Structure 1
Amino acid sequence: MVITNNVHLPDCSELNVQEVDLSSPVLLAAGPYLGKDCENINNEFMLCRFESGDPRACLGLGKLVTTCTLQFFQKVKRACFHEFNQYANCVDKSSGDLSFKHCRKTQAVFEECMDEKLCMKRPEFGYFCRARVHKTSRPPPPANPCPCQPVVPDPTPSLPDCKPRQHPRFGSRFYWMTE
Structure 2
Amino acid sequence: MDTISQDHAKLDSDTIADAIRPLVEADPSIKVKSIIAESQSRFNYNVSYHKTWLTKQKFVAKFFYDWEVSYQILPVWLKAMTAKMPKSRVQIKTLFVYHESEEVQDVRVLHHVFWSFYPCIVAFRHCKLLVQVDSTHLYGKYKSALLVAVAQDENKNIVPIAFAIVEGETGDT
Q: TM-score range by the shorter chain?
A: under 0.3
When normalised by structure 2's length, the TM-score is 0.26
When normalised by structure 1's length, the TM-score is 0.25
Q: Which has the higher strand share?
A: 2
**Which has the higher relative contact order, 1 or 2, with Cα contacts under 8 A spaced 6 or more apart?**
1
Quick check: which has more Rg, 1 or 2? 1
Q: Which has the higher helix share?
A: 1
